[in-house]
C-alpha cells in the first residue's frame, strides 16, 4: 500500500489521503488479479471457494 499509493502521490488534506486509501483498498480487494489466486481478485477467489465448499 505504501509503495503503490502513498509514495507516488502528494496529498493536500487528510480527507484526500483517506479517499485514496479507501479507493486503493477497494481496488486491491475487488479488481486486482493475482496469479497466486488463479487469476482472480481476492474477493472472487473467496466467493468461488465458498461456493465449492
Q: What is the pLDDT of residues 5-19, one digit of tens each?
A: 777 788 899 999 999
Q: Write down the H helix ranges in the chain.
A: 14-30, 42-52
d(CA 34, CA 43): 11
pTM above 0.75, yes or no: no
pLDDT in tens, 18-52: 999 999 999 988 988 888 888 989 999 999 989 99
Instruction: Look up the domain containing 6 and give its range.
Output: 2-52
Dist CA 8 CA 53 (whole Å): 40
Given a contact cutoff of 8 angstroms between Cβ atoms, the answer to whether 29 and 41 are in contact is yes
> In this structure, are residues 43 and 34 in contact, taking their beta carbons and an 8 Å threshold?
no
Report how many domains make up the chain: 1
Amino acid at each position: 500500500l505504501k509503495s503503490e499509493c502513498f509514495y507516488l502521490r502528494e496529498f493536500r488534506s487528510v480527507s484526500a489521503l483517506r479517499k485514496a486509501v479507501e479507493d486503493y483498498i477497494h481496488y486491491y480487494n475487488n479488481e486486482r488479479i493475482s496469479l497466486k489466486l488463479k487469476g482472480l481478485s481476492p474477493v472472487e477467489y473467496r466467493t468461488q471457494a465458498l461456493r465449492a465448499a
